[in-house]
């Protein structure tokens, strides 16, 4: 892949360095230099019309497909992205970058502050979804791609996709918005707050300076993950998967060991999360989601800042059992787009797998994503 460097950008082995770029954040803070870790899959065609940006969710990373060297496991959406998969890398050039504020190689709280040997920690500026998208847009620019064919994401990824439609409508053809919302609801903020409190009340957290002693607030971070994980499932899915089944013993212990399978499952989720995720990054990214709110403004943005002849297409997908980002939230987006006569498709998929459905085996999700991309690509390619 040939890349032309802008004056302030260096692209090295899938890390883009933006130096002296003075990125102004929504909070008013300025990051003078930053880097984004990214991965690409497939080949950019000669006309550069086949690029798709996949945006990861809260705890995702740039390893959307193939092997993830951090975990040694398959990429988080490898069932969706790859050769002959619904997002077909034989056909599309797929880009995925770790968000600004993340902890898989992009500039975030665990990275060193510019020109020093101390990590940001709690000194990292507050990040919003808009900031993440602004950083991504600079990456896309430095890859010399004028217009993305699609921006796709679920959950926090859906927020980014929506932000792309708001901020850069002329630089995309369509978005696929899965299990997202115009705003982060009070209930969702509440769950995030419990997670953050778990981290911050871990004595090892030390105001975000745990790295100074090479320590990790494991207890707090794993509890945060356990709480969050419950919100990604549904009661039916939990019942189907675990019921009241006991873990490796026939009798209950009358104590507080993990008697039930669901307990040991959650403990495992918490424990394995600690190994791959930074506690401060978790604080910053959950906050970014909390601040996301286009409830009042979305319609105005779409109505006034968009050329009505710009046929930006939207595919909005929700899941019946998702109580974190319920269908009604998706339908609010659909309603607003319909009231402006925009080209929108919407499907609520019937499943009991909860919010996590977008990462799991859902044949109807595969079908609509594949069909939407293939047919709309044929239209712009005509």
86 vs 79: CA distance, rounded Å: 8
Of 46 and 378, the one with the shorter C-beta distance to another protein is 378
Q: Do residues 349 and 319 make contact, with C-beta atoms less than 8 angstroms apart?
A: yes
Please say whether the dihedral angle defined by the alpha carbons of residues 369, 86, 16 and 60, taken in this order, is positive or negative. positive
Here's the x/- map for another protein, 318-357, by CB under 8 A: it reads as -------------x--xxx-xxxx-xxxxxxxx-------
Catalytic-residue membership of 341? no
Of 23 and 317, the one with the shorter C-beta distance to another protein is 317
Q: Which stretch binds another protein (CB under 8 A): 50-58, 95-103, 105-113, 374-382?
A: 374-382
Of 251 and 378, the one with the shorter C-beta distance to another protein is 378
293 vs 315: CA distance, rounded Å: 20
Question: DSSP for 130-190?
Answer: HHHHHHHHHHHHHTT-SSEEEEEEETHHHHHHHHHHHH-GGGEEEEEEES--SB--HHHHH
Catalytic-residue membership of 202? no
225 vs 230: CA distance, rounded Å: 9
Catalytic hit among 142, 155, 234, 330: 155
Indicate the SS3 state at residue 312: coil
Question: DSSP for 319-332?
Answer: ETT-SSS-HHHHHH
Could you say which of 14, 252, 371, 381 contacts another protein (CB under 8 A)?
A: 371
Could you say which of 32, 170, 257, 367 contacts another protein (CB under 8 A)?
A: 367
Here's the x/- map for another protein, 215-254, by CB under 8 A: it reads as ----------------------------------------
Catalytic-residue membership of 259? no
Of 139 and 349, the one with the shorter C-beta distance to another protein is 349
| Site residues (CB under 8 A) for another protein, limited to 281-320 | 313, 315
Cα 1–chain centre separation: 25
243 vs 249: CA distance, rounded Å: 15
Catalytic hit among 56, 192, 294, 355: 355
Number of CB atoms found within 10 A of residue 64's CB: 27
Could you say which of 55, 104, 283, 368 contacts another protein (CB under 8 A)?
A: 368
Catalytic residue numbers read 155, 322, 355
Point out which residues bind another protein (CB under 8 A): 313, 315, 331, 334-336, 338-341, 343-350, 364, 367-368, 370-372, 374-376, 378-379
């Amino acid at each position: 892949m040939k890349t032309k460097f802008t004056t302030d950008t260096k692209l090295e082995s899938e890390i883009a360095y933006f130096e002296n770029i003075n990125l102004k954040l929504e909070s008013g803070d300025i990051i003078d230099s930053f880097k984004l870790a990214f991965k690409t899959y497939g080949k950019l065609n000669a006309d550069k019309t086949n690029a798709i940006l996949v945006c990861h969710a809260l705890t995702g990373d740039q390893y959307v497909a193939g092997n993830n060297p951090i975990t040694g496991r398959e990429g988080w959406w490898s069932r969706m992205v790859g050769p002959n998969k619904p997002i077909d890398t034989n056909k599309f050039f797929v880009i995925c970058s770790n968000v600004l504020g993340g902890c898989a190689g992009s500039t975030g709280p665990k990275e060193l502050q510019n020109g020093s040997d101390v990590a940001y920690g709690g000194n990292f500026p507050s990040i919003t979804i808009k900031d993440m998208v602004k950083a991504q847009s600079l990456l896309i620019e430095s890859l010399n791609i004028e217009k993305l064919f699609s921006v796709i994401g679920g959950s926090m990824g859906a927020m980014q996709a929506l932000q792309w439609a708001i901020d850069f409508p002329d630089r995309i053809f369509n978005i696929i918005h899965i299990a997202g919302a115009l705003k982060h609801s009070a209930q969702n903020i509440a769950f995030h707050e419990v997670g953050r409190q778990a981290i911050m009340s871990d004595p090892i957290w030390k105001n975000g300076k745990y790295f100074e002693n090479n320590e990790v607030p494991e207890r707090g971070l794993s509890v945060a993950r356990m709480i969050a994980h419950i919100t990604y499932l549904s009661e039916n899915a939990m019942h189907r998967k675990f019921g009241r089944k006991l873990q490796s013993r026939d009798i209950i212990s009358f104590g507080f060991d993990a008697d039930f399978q669901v307990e040991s499952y959650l403990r495992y989720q918490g424990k394995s999360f600690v190994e791959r995720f930074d506690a401060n990054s978790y604080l910053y990214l959950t906050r970014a989601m909390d601040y996301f709110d286009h409830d009042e403004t979305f319609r105005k943005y779409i109505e006034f800042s968009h050329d009505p002849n710009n046929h930006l297409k939207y595919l909005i997908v929700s899941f019946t059992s998702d109580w974190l980002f319920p269908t009604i939230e998706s339908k609010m987006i659909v309603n607003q787009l319909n009231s402006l006569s925009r080209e929108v498709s919407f499907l609520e998929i019937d499943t009991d797998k909860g919010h996590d459905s977008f990462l799991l085996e859902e044949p109807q999700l595969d079908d609509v994503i594949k069909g939407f991309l293939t047919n709309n690509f044929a239209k712009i390619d005509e």
